[in-house]
Amino acid sequence: MKTNHQKTLLLTCVVGCLALPAAAADRIRPGQWVGVTTVGSKSYNTSACISQSDADAMNGDAKSVRAYLKKTIPPEICKLTDIKVNGGQVIYTAVCKNVAPDVVTANHHGNSFEGTSTNGTKSAARLTGACK
């Protein structure tokens, strides 16, 4: 059970820390992102430094986003499928061992984003400035 919780948290953190936003062609900007991920009744603070190359990958097409997410969520942890990019929205399915498939959706709004997954996990974050 703890391992499944960790996988869920990892997936949500990826959404919360990587699929961070801006405009349709600029989903994520480089810099320090802080947010909160809620899994069940527990909330976790998140923080990530997004480099320019990470932002470039996440701002690309579905193939570019897939390559970046595979680097962030190794296939031995979860298999990612059905990655779709539509303007400021990124949607993908994560299939992790001993866990039902989970559809993750992240919506981007400039310097903030919110994400949800079909397992009930929610996340939100905002750009706070340059990386620390």
**79-104 residue pLDDT tens:** 999 999 999 999 999 999 888 999 99
**37-80 residue pLDDT tens:** 999 999 999 999 989 998 888 888 999 999 989 988 889 999 99
The SS3 call for residue 67 is helix
pTM: predicted TM-score of the whole model, two decimal places:
0.78
The count of other CB atoms within 10 Å of the CB of residue 122 is 16
Instruction: Please tell me the distance from the alpha carbon of residue 41 to that of residue 66, in angstroms, as a whole number.
Output: 30
